[in-house]
Amino acid sequence: MTKKFSSETNLPWWKKGVIYQIYPRSFNDTSGNGIGDLKGISKKISYLSSLGVDAIWLSPVFTSPMKDMGYDVSNYTDIDPLFGNILDFEKLIKKAKENKIKVIIDQVLSHSSDTHPFFKLSKSNKDNSKSDWYVWADPKPDGSPPNNWLSVFGGSAWEWDTSREQYYLHNFLKSQPDFNFHNIDVQKWLLSTVKFWLEKGIDGFRLDTANYYFHDKKLRNNPAIKSRASGKNPYYYQNLKYSINQKDNFAFLKKLRKLTDKYKETTMIGEISNVELQAKYTANNDKLHMAYSFDLLRDEFSPKHIRNTVSKFFKETKDGWPTWSFSNHDVVRHLSRWNKTKKDRQKFAKLTCALLMSLKGTPCIYQGEELGQTQTKIEFDEIKDPPGKKFWPMDFGRDGCRTPMIWDESKKFAGFSSSKPWLPIKKEQIINSVKKQLKNRNSTYHFYKTFISLRKKISFFTEEIYFENNNEVLIFYRGNEKEICCMFNLSQREIAIDNTYGKIIPFLPSQQVGQDSKKLNLSSYGFCFLTKTDFKISNKKS
């Protein structure tokens, strides 16, 4: 008897859907100033609808001096003029929802800009209504900072202020002072800013540095990590035991969850540093709805690493839910990060798409990923990113993954803008234009579109995941009864394995695979989906 794949499931949309991250500065410019804007995003909603994504996540669009490209907020309830205004934002929400696309916004709660009125007042003296809204501390007797905490962006996490004759804490740039979450009034006010955007009709939040909210009240020194780290940034030499990931974080996130749950079908995605914490922050359905870590955003790309990362999450929690991303606005694009030889890039792009869509969890695509976009090489005089300037030439910063979207290779500035873009557009990226890929049915874009559509029709992709202990080929099963076997050759060499996994499923994409009665042959970046049961897709709509 033939069984049917079914798209019917009682899961909330955010467990079934696909999220698309937009970096607004680089998506589409309608004002002609070389910087993308909200109207530009609205004009491309039809493109996103055609791709099949369920939600868009917008990197920060709030009022900001842009010292960290919007992650330094000076007004939490207004839109920066670079991107438009509140009316433009409301129109974007309306158009997105007309196209059945939800809108998630980046919420930066751990710190503000140093130009925020509250910080200006806080630093004016030690006796004002906002004096305890940021983290202030006296120097040691020798005048040095209160402890050894370091900034992610280099140097001490403490900056001296001459007005108060105290240090203030900044986990990132010195122009990004940390809020004092131990002050309940700070929590209440930040919750009110979250409510403001919920009332505007947004569908959720991506919470920037969601494990950085609280600090150790005693300001104890961070210990060194047990096995000494090496690398470009000394920040990672410390065990961040006291500066982040405090127990109070969980209590505040429960308050956030209680607030967002009052609004139908909203979700929160937390940026968390590693997979163990990713699991803890989503456990028990009372904190974050989802979280993503940097474990699959790093350099390692192997069956063992992917198996261990995903398995570890579900070992840590039975009811938590992950978001998986291979690229975002903070890391080298995965086609350049994992495929350094530059060989078979389109095949590699399709492999990583099929893999991302097949993992248990919610996939998040970074703009241009659906085009097979690669990292842009940025020269020193082109750098806009503060860490890029700080750590050059050992680290090129984050600008290379933030360059403009390539819409039309035949137009000046690739159809992104009518004037010179804020970051350069280069030849290697232009060849992957939207216009060219829409015309080519074998393009990376059409592969993403096809797989997103199929993923929605097959409920097994939201059910259990079971890994085989194989370090040569990544093999796992999807479905509560292991209905689908997913097989990926992550290498450039051909691999043959015994054919005991069933027949290749004809309506799911495969690549570079041969099958006979005894062997499966996976060529470079080959993958396939197999089953031992006779299946077909149900035509019922989800």
Compute the average pLDDT of residues 94-108. Answer: 98
| Rounded distance between C-alpha atoms, residue 226 and residue 493, angstroms | 37
| Rounded distance between C-alpha atoms, residue 510 and residue 419, angstroms | 42
- In this structure, whether the domain defined by 12-111+184-216+247-386+398-455 belongs to CATH 3.20.20.80 is answered with yes
Three-state SS for 511? strand
Compute the average pLDDT of residues 405-431. Answer: 97
Residue 349 has phi, psi (to 5 degrees) of: -60, -40
| Bridging pattern class, strands 204-207 and 102-107 | parallel
Whether pLDDT at 542 is above 50:
no
Task: Count Cβ neighbours within 10 Å for each residue of 303-325 and write b for 16 or more, e otherwise.
Answer: bebbbbbbbbbbebbeebbbbbb
Whether pLDDT at 8 is above 70:
no
The catalytic residue among 54, 88, 203, 208 is: 208
Tell me the per-residue pLDDT of 493-524, one tens digit each, with 9 for 90 and over.
999 999 899 999 999 999 999 988 889 999 99
Whole-number pLDDT of residue 397: 84
Tell me the per-residue pLDDT of 42-57, one tens digit each, with 9 for 90 and over.
999 999 999 999 999 9
DSSP label of 462: G
Tell me the per-residue pLDDT of 457-475, one tens digit each, with 9 for 90 and over.
999 999 999 999 999 999 9
Catalytic site residue 382?
no
Whether pLDDT at 6 is above 60:
no
The answer to whether residues 5 and 479 touch, using CB atoms and an 8 Å cutoff, is no
The answer to whether residues 266 and 198 touch, using CB atoms and an 8 Å cutoff, is yes
| Rounded distance between C-alpha atoms, residue 253 and residue 267, angstroms | 12
CATH class of 465-537: mainly beta
Report residue 7's pLDDT band, with 50, 70 and 90 as the boundaries. Answer: low
| Rounded distance between C-alpha atoms, residue 427 and residue 124, angstroms | 50
Q: Select, from the ranges 389-393, 449-453, 536-540, the one with the highest average predicted confidence (pLDDT).
A: 449-453
Whole-number pLDDT of residue 1: 39
pTM of the model: 0.96
Compute the average pLDDT of residues 225-254. Answer: 88
Whole-number pLDDT of residue 533: 81
| Rounded distance between C-alpha atoms, residue 148 and residue 53, angstroms | 44
| Rounded distance between C-alpha atoms, residue 125 and residue 135, angstroms | 14
Report residue 386's pLDDT band, with 50, 70 and 90 as the boundaries. Answer: confident
Report residue 230's pLDDT band, with 50, 70 and 90 as the boundaries. Answer: low
Whole-number pLDDT of residue 228: 61
Per-domain residue ranges of the chain: 12-111+184-216+247-386+398-455, 465-537
Catalytic site residue 127?
no
Whole-number pLDDT of residue 517: 81
Tell me the per-residue pLDDT of 73-83, one tens digit each, with 9 for 90 and over.
999 999 999 99
Q: Provide the CB-side half-sphere exposure for 153 (13 A, CA).
A: 19
The catalytic residue among 29, 72, 271, 370 is: 271
Structure-token pair, residue 437: 């890929």
Compute the average pLDDT of residues 3-15. Answer: 73
Whether pLDDT at 144 is above 60:
yes
Lowest-confidence segment of 49-58, 59-68, 167-176, 227-236 by average pLDDT: 227-236
Report residue 395's pLDDT band, with 50, 70 and 90 as the boundaries. Answer: low
